[in-house]
Amino acid sequence: MKKKPEAKPLICMMADVAITAAEGESKAPPKFNVVAYTGGLMTLTGWDLPVVVDLTGMTFGKSLVANLDHDSSKRVGNVTGKELTESTLTLSGIASAVTESAREVVASAANGFVWQASIEARPDQLTEVAAGKSVNVNGQDFQGPLYVAAKSTLKGFAFVSHGADDNTTVTIAATADPHSKETNKMDKKCKAWIEAMGFDVDELSDSQSAGLVANYEGQSAGKSKPITASNPFEERKLEARRRKEIRDLADRQIELRNSDEEEIIAIEKMCDHSIDAGMSVDKFRLELYDAMTPPARRIDTPKCGHAMNAKVLEAAICQAANLNDIEDHFDDKTLQAAHDQFKGRIGLKQLFLLGAEENGHSNRFSNDIDRETLKAAFAKPRDIRAGGFSTLDISTIVSNTANKFIMRGWNSVDQTILRISKIQNVRNFQTITTVSLTDSVIYEKLGAGGEIKHGTLSELTYTNKADTYAQMLAITRTDLINDDLGALTDTPQKLGNGAMKKLSDIGWTKFLSLVGASFFASGNSNINTGVATMSTGGLSATEVIFQNQTNPDGTPLGLMPSILLVPTALKSAAYTLMSSEKLIDGTGTAAQGDGNIWRGRFRVESSPYISNSSYTGNTSTAWWMLADPNELAVLAIAALNGQVTPTVDTADADFNTLGVQMRGYCDVGVNSQEYRGGVHADGGAS
Please indicate, yes or no, if residue 591 is contained in any of the structural domains: yes
Please indicate, yes or no, if residue 468 is contained in any of the structural domains: no
Beta-carbon contacts of 306 under 8 Å, excluding residues fewer than 6 positions away, are 312, 336, 337, 340, 341
Q: How far apart are CA 190 and CA 201, in angstroms?
A: 10
| In a shared domain, residues 170 and 209 | no
Q: Which residue has the higher pLDDT, 590 or 45?
A: 45
| In a shared domain, residues 28 and 110 | yes
pLDDT tens readout for residues 649-678? 776 555 445 567 777 888 999 999 999 999
Average pLDDT of 312-327? 83
Q: Are 312 and 340 in contact (CB under 8 A)?
A: no
Please indicate, yes or no, if residue 303 is contained in any of the structural domains: no
Please indicate, yes or no, if residue 572 is contained in any of the structural domains: yes
Please indicate, yes or no, if residue 370 is contained in any of the structural domains: yes
User: Of 341, 359, 392, which marks where a domain is finished?
Assistant: 392
Strand ranges for 421-577 from DSSP E: 421-426, 432-435, 461-464, 467-475, 527-528, 563-566
Average pLDDT of 567-584? 88
Please indicate, yes or no, if residue 613 is contained in any of the structural domains: yes
pLDDT tens readout for residues 353-374? 777 776 666 654 456 666 677 6
Q: Where residue 302 falls among pLDDT bands split at 50, 70, 90? A: very low
Q: Where residue 608 falls among pLDDT bands split at 50, 70, 90? A: very high
pLDDT score for 274: 83
Q: How far apart are CA 51 and CA 192, in angstroms?
A: 48
| In a shared domain, residues 105 and 209 | no
Please indicate, yes or no, if residue 594 is contained in any of the structural domains: yes
| In a shared domain, residues 224 and 345 | no
| In a shared domain, residues 40 and 161 | yes
**Winning range, highest mean pLDDT, from 79-93, 297-311, 387-401, 624-638:** 624-638
| In a shared domain, residues 33 and 122 | yes
Please indicate, yes or no, if residue 302 is contained in any of the structural domains: no
| In a shared domain, residues 125 and 47 | yes
Q: How far apart are CA 217 and CA 237, in angstroms?
A: 19
pLDDT score for 172: 55
b/e code 511-541 from CB counts within 10 Å (16+ = b): bbebbeeebbeeeeebbbebbbbbbbbbbbb
pTM value? 0.50
Q: Where residue 224 falls among pLDDT bands split at 50, 70, 90? A: very low
| In a shared domain, residues 325 and 387 | yes
Q: Could you tell me the maximum CA-CA distance found in the chain, to the nearest angstrom?
A: 125
| In a shared domain, residues 17 and 139 | yes
Q: How far apart are CA 244 and CA 252, in angstroms?
A: 12
Q: Is 624 exposed, middle or buried (0-12, 13-18, 19+ CB in 10 A)?
A: buried
Q: Is 372 exposed, middle or buried (0-12, 13-18, 19+ CB in 10 A)?
A: exposed
pLDDT score for 446: 74
pLDDT tens readout for residues 372-389? 776 666 665 444 333 333
User: Of 292, 324, 339, which marks where a domain is finished?
Assistant: 292
| In a shared domain, residues 204 and 341 | no
Looking at the structure of the chain, the number of domains it has is 4
User: Of 175, 198, 221, which marks where a domain is finished?
Assistant: 175
b/e code 21-54 from CB counts within 10 Å (16+ = b): eeeeebbbbbbbbbbbbbbbebebebbebbbbbb
| In a shared domain, residues 274 and 324 | no
Q: How far apart are CA 488 and CA 636, in angstroms?
A: 34
Mean pLDDT score across all residues of the chain? 74
Q: At what angle do helices 348-358 and 310-320 cross, to 10 degrees?
A: 170
Q: How far apart are CA 329 and CA 293, in angstroms?
A: 40
pLDDT tens readout for residues 149-159? 888 888 777 77
Which of 345, 324, 387, 15 is closest to 165 using CA atoms? 15
Q: Where residue 485 falls among pLDDT bands split at 50, 70, 90? A: confident
| In a shared domain, residues 215 and 344 | no
pLDDT higher than threshold 70 for residue 216: no
Domain, as residue range, for 618 = 530-633+675-681
pLDDT score for 99: 81
**β-pair type (58-60, 432-435):** unpaired
Q: Which residue has the higher pLDDT, 510 or 152?
A: 510
